[in-house]
């Protein structure tokens, strides 16, 4: 079970982690993009933090949809619509709930990644956040299918996201700004896959903490 308080704690942790990793993500984006991913995500989650107090007593669906809307109207770039859609769809998948079962979590992750794919039309291997999100979702679903508990399943999801993130290094970018580089995109880790990993990792960290 994941509680609403944990979801709220997660979002706060994400805001903190993205602030800490602002320069790192921006640096990754400088190599194959336009040097703003960390700045954008940090700005977005600051906006989320400013809106969170108004909704943190609502259901998880509302909280996540508000998060999505805040990102859409403040992040801009590719990250804005993608992460905005991710949280909007995640929220829609768990509308009205105050705690999430493992099945809810699986549905949330699947809806989120589906939203990203629909919005950005990137495929696995295009060197985008999809390369972290999709394997993570698969791993989570497989783990609960195998009977793992939430924390264990999330750990495997985060491991898969980390692996997916690292796997973007040798990839040739096909979507986003990095795709303009062609061959020269090879050898660099995708910033969006990295932020996706960090966001999932933050969820694991929060869930793993004794409540």
Ligand X SMILES: Nc1ncnc2c1ncn2[C@@H]1O[C@H](COP(=O)(O)OP(=O)(O)O)[C@@H](O)[C@H]1O
Q: Does 77 sit near ligand X (CB under 6 A)?
A: yes
CB 128 to another protein: min, Å? 9
| Chain centroid, CA 130 distance in Å | 9
In terms of CB distance, is 116 or 198 closer to another protein? 116
CB 76 to Mg ion: min, Å? 7
Region near ligand X per CB under 6 A, out of 57-65, 151-159, 171-179, 180-188: 171-179
From the list ligand X, another protein, Mg ion, none, partner contacted by residue 43 (C-beta under 5 to 8 A by kind): another protein
In sequence order, the β-bridge partners of residue 2 are: 100
Q: How far, in Å, CA of 115 to CA of 102, rounded?
A: 20
In terms of CB distance, is 26 or 62 closer to ligand X? 26
From the list ligand X, Mg ion, another protein, none, partner contacted by residue 74 (C-beta under 5 to 8 A by kind): another protein
Q: Is the dihedral of CA 107, 200, 167, 24 positive or negative?
A: positive
In the chain the first and final C-alpha atoms are separated, in Å, by 12
User: Which 3 state secondary structure label does DSSP give 131?
Assistant: helix
From the list Mg ion, ligand X, another protein, none, partner contacted by residue 190 (C-beta under 5 to 8 A by kind): ligand X
Range 145-151 contact pairs with CB under 8 angstroms and sequence separation of 24 or more = 149/102, 150/1, 150/2, 150/102, 150/105, 150/207, 151/204, 151/207, 151/208
In terms of CB distance, is 33 or 68 closer to Mg ion? 33
CB 184 to another protein: min, Å? 6
Residues near another protein, by CB under 8 A = 26, 30-36, 39-40, 43, 72-82, 119-120, 173-177, 179-182, 184
Q: How far, in Å, CA of 197 to CA of 62, rounded?
A: 23
């Amino acid at each position: 079970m994941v509680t609403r308080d944990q979801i709220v704690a997660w979002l706060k942790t994400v805001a903190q982690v993205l602030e800490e990793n602002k320069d790192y993500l921006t640096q990754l984006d400088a190599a194959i993009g336009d040097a703003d991913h960390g700045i954008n995500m940090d700005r977005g989650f600051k906006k989320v933090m400013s809106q969170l107090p108004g909704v943190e007593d609502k259901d998880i669906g509302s909280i996540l949809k508000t998060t999505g809307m805040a990102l859409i109207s403040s992040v801009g770039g590719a990250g804005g619509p993608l992460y905005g859609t991710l949280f909007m769809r995640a929220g829609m998948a768990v509308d009205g709930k105050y705690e999430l079962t493992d099945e809810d979590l699986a549905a949330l992750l699947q809806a989120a990644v589906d939203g990203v794919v629909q919005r950005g039309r990137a495929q696995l291997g295009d060197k985008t956040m999809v390369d972290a999100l999709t394997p993570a979702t698969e791993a989570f679903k497989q783990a609960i299918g195998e009977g793992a508990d939430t924390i264990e399943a999330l750990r495997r999801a985060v491991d898969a996201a980390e692996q997916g993130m690292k796997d973007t290094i040798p990839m040739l970018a096909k979507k986003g700004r990095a795709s303009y580089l062609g061959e020269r995109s090879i050898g660099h880790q995708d910033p969006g896959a990295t932020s996706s990993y960090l966001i999932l990792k933050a969820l694991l960290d929060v869930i793993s903490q004794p409540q």
